[in-house]
Amino acid sequence: MTGSHHETPAIRVSLLAGLQQTFTLAWRTLLQIRHNPWELGDFSIQPVLFLLLFLFVFGGAIAGSTSDYLQFMLPGIIVMNMMFVTVYVGHGLNTDLTKGVFDRLRALPIARWAPLAGRILADLVKQAWSILLLLAVGFLLGFRLETWLGAVLLMGLLVLTMALAVSWIMVLVGVVARDPEHVQLFGFTALFPITFVSNVFVPLESLPGWLQPVVALNPVSTLTEASRGLLLGGPVLEPALWSMAWAALIAAVFAPVSLWALNRRLARSG
């Protein structure tokens, strides 16, 4: 009887009320940064360190100069960072689950999907912050936009669309993992191959012939190519369409599975 008492109020919540609750819960998550500023460190310090490390350690060897490598690498670093910080969607969700936050929220008359949607929305805002920060640091280091300002916005929207899709994978990881530490362990382990076996750091043409088809189909590569095209000029439409197709496929596969796993875990705890 207790489990049904928790679930009944959420069913009667209207869509508009559910959206308002989602924004409220997202704002709650973002407000936690004020009490724990280090929570934003993973979205601020880590991406800048990645940028500086790869730029000054490998820039001269790969491109001949750090300035040329910055032009090539910055769009890829933005994409790579997006992939890595999606892990914190699963990390935050797992923390809420293991600490009983979701159980307390289920006792309130809110939409069943609002807590999860609020978590994902808050992390998308943090993702947007990371993109802006990397662009700002890149411009300070000498990055030059070779298209138009509107293309920067389009690039950001494209990257955030993929972030939303990949977040569903991390939701599943967050649900099935035993604790937040295992979320990070599995998430980063899975993402390292897909991000480094791509065109983020080196041109596709410089890779072995047998590896090039694999890298070309990599969603990280297609998103990086589209981002480079938007910021520097070059092919945009085809890689952008591939990126959107990848995002749609990932979301179509992992969103229902993640929601099923989440509902099953909540039912067991209830």
206-245 pLDDT per residue, tens: 899 999 999 999 999 999 999 999 999 989 999 999 999 9
pLDDT at 97: 87
* Residues 79 and 151: beta-carbon distance below 8 Å: no
Nearest to 90 by CA among 174, 32, 196: 174
* Residues 57 and 143: beta-carbon distance below 8 Å: no
Taking each helix axis from N to C end, the angle separating 149-176 and 114-141, rounded to the nearest 10 degrees, works out to 140
The beta strand positions in the chain, using DSSP E, are: none
pTM of the prediction? 0.89
33-71 pLDDT per residue, tens: 877 777 777 788 889 999 999 999 888 888 788 999 999
Q: What is the mean pLDDT of the chain?
A: 88
Q: Is the dihedral of CA 83, 87, 88, 89 positive or negative?
A: positive
* Residues 13 and 109: beta-carbon distance below 8 Å: yes
* Residues 230 and 152: beta-carbon distance below 8 Å: yes
